[in-house]
Amino acid sequence: MICIFSILASSSVCLGQSNFDRSLNNPIIYWYGLDFSKLVIYDFTKLSDGEEIKEEVCPQWIGYFKKHVDNKKLRKLFDKEAVVDVSSQLSSSYDQIDHENFVRIDGDYKITDDQLKELVKSYELNETDGLGLVVVLESMRKLDREVSEYGLFFDIKSREILFKVQESGRWDSYGFVALYGSAINEGVSRIGDRYRRDVLKTFK
């Protein structure tokens, strides 16, 4: 182990030693998919369409993701020997959306750390142990052309969030489903990049 000490910063970085929980290096990850329950959309053209988006479009976004990001891509993205797809357990998370407050003109909506912790604890999962991953969608902003989302890596047994990363994806397609769907996918890709760079590299 090599330690580099910085006098000016009063800090040290030890190469070859990770401060992350070792379970984050688990070669198997349980993929719980996309959680829409806390999502807010800023799109003035869709103010009256909240219920339709909730009931019809959210399932299409899930389908769009699965069409473009299969298990092989997930394994590569998160550098895992196996990704166990258990996303069906949260596939109806959009049922919890309040469609009357779902689509807004503007605002500064943020999901708090406490809300994220409570969300993970509230999941009714079939698994009792292992490393889990869920992507919680926060907001979609038409004017900014982006989707904000959180990647939550958590211990399934304790429900402790071991690594949280917030990322945004920008769309590169057309049509309402593909527009935001492509941004969701890019955000997940960036979450994977951050996980490999910030977490996995520390175990090598």
Q: Domain coordinates of the chain in residue numbers?
A: 27-203
CA distance 90 to 37: 10
What band does 14 get if pLDDT is binned at 50, 70 and 90?
very low
Average pLDDT rounded to a whole number, residues 72-87: 97
H or E element, residue 41: strand 40-42
What band does 109 get if pLDDT is binned at 50, 70 and 90?
very high
CA distance 98 to 103: 10
Which residues, at least 6 apart from 140, have a Cβ–Cβ distance to it below 8 Å?
39, 40, 41, 42, 43, 146, 147, 148, 180, 183
Above 90 in pLDDT, residue 112? yes
Q: What is the reported pLDDT for 89?
A: 96
Q: How do residues 152-167 score in pLDDT, each as one tens digit?
A: 999 999 999 999 999 9
Q: What is the reported pLDDT for 18?
A: 56
Above 70 in pLDDT, residue 39? yes
CA distance 41 to 186: 17
